[in-house]
């Protein structure tokens, strides 16, 4: 067969076009990720992008900002990305990359060096850079003043700052040295502060390349500490260092007040809000009320604590009012009891949640959305107030305690019930927002699962669940009071 030069030339041109189309397809879709432009910011002479912009326009499965440890976790389809505030490093899966500048925290926002985009491009993502550069004015993070106060029971050290500054806290193995680190922060004076009150010897201040290190040399009377940061004016970080019980009088009312004496039990839903409706028409509001009443009785009888229930009858209570009750009564713990529901009847298990700006996974996000759905039954003003919650300003003061409490409840639910454990999770639960004490939400099981629904309907199982939660609270109480050394 003879092919004319004209036909051959046409075929060659067609092949070239197909090749170019294939290359274009690979460029657009062959690499993992997305095409997106990001505003750039200049901070201390370095180019940055806002982490929120990256999250917003990325296909992110999970995102968590751990205020306590100052770590950021981002989960994509195939990659786990980890940052630490104040450092130049990013870990993508098991690969370390050095960035041109440290990860920064300003005005309650996280900024990451612009060359992070180059790192992700090397990992298979595609970006289009924005040509314009915004030049916002940032307040330098500063420790304006360090003050201390000696009390009969403890020494309080206050760090007054110009903005909220996340901190990293640690302690030496011998417990002789307490350390606080403030990334990307300035301080005028590094002169040591002598205290010598038996709890604290002195405070040493060190400037580092990217922040300020505070070293507190403790003395013989030091036993335990508590630290918290205020995210609203007046901005400050407060560190309390407590004495051993042999140096604290048992009659001291301040120390007595530190014990866990008041617990609020919140039976979820109620009244016009039935909560989840499961197999056989079983309603969540009735199940959790029965469990909550039994739990309250155990706490009063065996722990001898004051127990306040947000509801004892089939009554509707707004989400905000529930934590208000806890705050007004100066509760030491807040436990919200719920039962879960899922579109799949096969899903089983219990889980315990604590409050966080971000959900630990898609399921946690769905559970929070369902539990928060009651807001539609509240008045328009309340609904508007919830919309205006500044979730990035959620206090992390009790996060560690809430996680610890959740852990003890999980442990006892596993050992004392036949329900499988789904672990500790976190999400944006309106019912936990505003609690000024350790607070958790317990999902005791799935009403949508016929097997678990049958158990949850049984008074015998309800008592077992109440006992398990009680034992978790009891273990937490014992451990907490040992920590502050005020157990009689």
| Superfamily in which the 40-134 domain is placed by CATH | Copper amine oxidase-like, N-terminal domain (3.30.457.10)
Is there a cis peptide before residue 188, judged by omega within 30 degrees of 0? no
Instruction: Fill in the DSSP letter of residue 174.
Output: T
Mind listing the pLDDT tens digit of every residue in the chain (488 residues)?
Answer: 444 555 455 566 656 555 555 555 444 444 444 445 678 888 777 888 888 888 777 666 567 776 556 678 887 767 788 887 777 878 888 788 888 888 877 666 788 888 888 887 776 655 444 444 444 545 578 899 999 988 878 898 999 998 888 888 887 767 688 999 888 788 989 999 999 999 999 999 998 877 899 999 998 888 888 888 776 667 888 898 888 654 444 444 444 556 899 999 999 989 988 988 987 889 999 999 999 999 999 999 999 999 999 999 999 888 888 888 988 888 899 999 999 988 889 999 999 998 876 666 666 666 666 555 555 555 555 545 544 443 333 444 577 788 889 999 999 999 999 999 998 888 777 778 777 788 999 999 999 999 999 999 999 999 999 999 999 999 999 888 776 553 33
For residue 265, what are the β-bridge partners?
A: 309, 335
Task: Give the angle 466-467-473 at the CA atoms, nearest 5°.
Answer: 90
CA–CA gap between residue 293 and residue 423 (Å, rounded): 24
Give phi and psi for 309, each to the nearest 5. -100, 135
- Tokens (6 digits) for 337: 């009891």
CA–CA gap between residue 119 and residue 90 (Å, rounded): 9
Q: Does domain 259-483 have CATH number 3.50.50.60?
A: no
CA–CA gap between residue 439 and residue 319 (Å, rounded): 14
CA–CA gap between residue 438 and residue 226 (Å, rounded): 13
Residue 232, by phi and psi: left (phi above 0), alpha (psi -120 to 50) or beta?
beta
Sorted by where each begins, the domain ranges of the chain are 40-134, 141-248, 259-483
CA–CA gap between residue 239 and residue 225 (Å, rounded): 7
CA distances from 106 to 142, 224, 229, 237, 279 (A): 11, 31, 15, 16, 49
Q: Which residues contact 246 (CB under 8 A, 6 or more apart)?
A: none
Residue pair 339/288 in contact (Cβ under 8 Å)? The answer is yes
Secondary structure E strands in 39-122 = 40-43, 46-50, 62-66, 71-75, 80-84, 89-92, 95-98, 104-106, 109-113
DSSP, residue by residue, 414-448: HHHSSSPEEEEEEE--GGGTT-SS-EEEEEEEETT
CA–CA gap between residue 230 and residue 109 (Å, rounded): 16
Q: Is 70 helix (H, G, I), strand (E, B) or coil?
A: coil
CA–CA gap between residue 159 and residue 189 (Å, rounded): 13
Chain-centroid distance of CA 293 in Å reads 29
CA distances from 459 to 279, 291, 441, 468 (A): 17, 9, 21, 14
CA–CA gap between residue 336 and residue 443 (Å, rounded): 9
Q: Is 465 helix (H, G, I), strand (E, B) or coil?
A: helix
Hey, which CATH number is domain 141-248, 2.60.40.3500, 3.60.21.10, 1.10.150.120, 2.30.30.40? 2.60.40.3500
Q: Which residues contact 9 (CB under 8 A, 6 or more apart)?
A: none
CA distances from 306 to 168, 220, 263, 265, 330 (A): 35, 35, 6, 11, 11
CA–CA gap between residue 115 and residue 367 (Å, rounded): 37
Cβ atoms within 10 Å, residue 319: 25
Secondary structure E strands in 195-235 = 200-207, 211-218, 222-230
Give phi and psi for 291, each to the nearest 5. -65, -40
Q: Return the pLDDT at 229.
A: 78
Q: Return the pLDDT at 302.
A: 95
Is there a cis peptide before residue 234, judged by omega within 30 degrees of 0? yes
Cβ atoms within 10 Å, residue 373: 12
Q: Return the pLDDT at 47.
A: 86
Q: Return the pLDDT at 333.
A: 94
- Tokens (6 digits) for 332: 């030491």
For residue 152, what are the β-bridge partners?
A: none
DSSP, residue by residue, 363-399: HHHHHHHHHHGGGGGS-HHHHHHHHT--GGG---TTH
């Amino acid at each position: 067969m003879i092919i004319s030069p004209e036909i051959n030339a046409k075929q060659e041109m067609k092949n070239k076009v197909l090749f170019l189309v294939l290359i274009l397809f690979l460029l657009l879709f062959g690499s993992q990720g997305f095409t997106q432009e990001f505003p750039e910011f200049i901070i201390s002479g370095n180019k940055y992008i806002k982490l929120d912009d990256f999250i917003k326009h990325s296909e992110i499965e999970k995102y968590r900002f751990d205020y306590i440890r100052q770590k950021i976790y981002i989960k994509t389809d195939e990659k786990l990305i980890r940052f630490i505030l104040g450092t130049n490093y990013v870990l993508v899966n098991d690969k370390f990359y050095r960035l041109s500048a440290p990860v920064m925290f300003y005005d309650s926002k996280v900024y990451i060096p612009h060359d992070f985009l180059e790192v992700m491009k090397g990992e298979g993502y595609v970006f289009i850079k924005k040509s314009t550069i915004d030049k916002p004015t940032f307040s330098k993070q500063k420790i304006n003043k360090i003050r201390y106060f000696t009390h009969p029971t403890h020494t309080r050290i206050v760090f007054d700052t110009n903005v909220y500054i996340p901190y990293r806290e640690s302690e030496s193995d011998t417990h002789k040295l307490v350390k606080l680190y403030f990334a990307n922060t300035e301080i005028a004076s590094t002169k040591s502060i002598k205290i010598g009150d038996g709890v604290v010897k002195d405070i040493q201040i060190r400037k580092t390349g990217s922040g300020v290190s505070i070293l507190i040399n403790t003395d013989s009377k030091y036993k335990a500490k508590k630290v918290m940061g205020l995210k609203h004016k007046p901005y400050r970080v407060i560190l309390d260092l407590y004495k051993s019980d042999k140096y604290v009088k048992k009659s001291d009312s301040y120390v007595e007040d530190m014990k866990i004496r008041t617990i609020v039990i919140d039976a979820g839903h109620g009244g016009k809000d039935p909560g989840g409706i499961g197999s056989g028409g079983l309603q969540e509001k009735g199940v959790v009320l029965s469990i909550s009443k039994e739990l309250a009785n155990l706490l009063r009888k065996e722990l001898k604590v004051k127990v306040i229930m947000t509801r004892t009858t089939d009554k509707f209570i707004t989400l905000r009012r529930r934590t208000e009750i806890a705050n007004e009564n100066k509760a030491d713990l807040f436990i919200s009891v719920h039962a879960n529901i899922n579109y799949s009847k096969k899903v089983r298990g219990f889980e315990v949640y604590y409050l966080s700006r971000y959900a630990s996974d898609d399921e946690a996000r769905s559970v929070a959305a369902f539990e928060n759905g009651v807001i539609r039954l509240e008045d328009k003003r309340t609904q508007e107030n919830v919309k205006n919650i500044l979730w990035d300003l959620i206090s992390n003061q009790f996060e560690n305690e809430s996680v610890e409490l959740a852990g003890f409840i999980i442990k006892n639910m596993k050992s004392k019930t036949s329900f499988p454990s789904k672990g500790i999770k976190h999400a944006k639960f309106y019912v936990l927002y505003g609690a000024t004490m350790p607070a958790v939400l317990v999902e005791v099981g799935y009403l949508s699962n016929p097997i678990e629904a049958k158990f949850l309907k049984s008074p015998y199982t309800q008592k077992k669940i109440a006992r398990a939660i009680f034992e978790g609270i009891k273990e937490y109480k014992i451990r907490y009071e040992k920590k502050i050394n005020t157990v009689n």
